[in-house]
Chain A
Amino acid sequence: NAGVTQTPKFQVLKTGQSMTLQCAQDMNHEYMSWYRQDPGMGLRLIHYSVGAGITDQGEVPNGYNVSRSTTEDFPLRLLSAAPSQTSVYFCASRKSGEETQYFGPGTRLLVL
Chain B
Amino acid sequence: GDSVTQMEGPVTLSEEAFLTINCTYTATGYPSLFWYVQYPGEGLQLLLKATKADDKGSNKGFEATYRKETTSFHLEKGSVQVSDSAVYFCALSPFSGYSTLTFGKGTMLLVSP
**Residue B42 interfacial (CB < 8 Å):** yes
Measured between beta carbons, the chain A residues less than 8 angstroms from B106 are 42-43
A101 touches B104 (CB 8 A): no
Interface size on B, residues (CB 8 A): 23
Number of A-B contacts (CB under 8 A): 54
Say which one of A13-21, A68-76, A91-99 lies at the interface with B. A91-99
A96 touches B100 (CB 8 A): no
Asked if A101 meets B46 with Cβ closer than 8 Å, knowing A42-B104, A50-B99, the reply is yes
How far is it, in angstroms, between the C-alpha of A103 and the C-alpha of B34 when the chains are bound?
14
Say which one of B68-76, B78-86, B89-97 lies at the interface with A. B89-97
Binding site for B on A (CB under 8 A): 4, 31, 33, 35, 40-45, 48, 50, 58, 90, 92, 94, 96-101, 103-106
- Other A-B contacts than A99-B32, A101-B101, 18 sampled, CB-CB below 8 A, are A31-B99, A33-B99, A33-B100, A42-B4, A42-B103, A43-B44, A43-B106, A44-B103, A45-B100, A48-B99, A48-B100, A94-B99, A98-B97, A99-B93, A103-B36, A103-B43, A105-B43, A106-B43
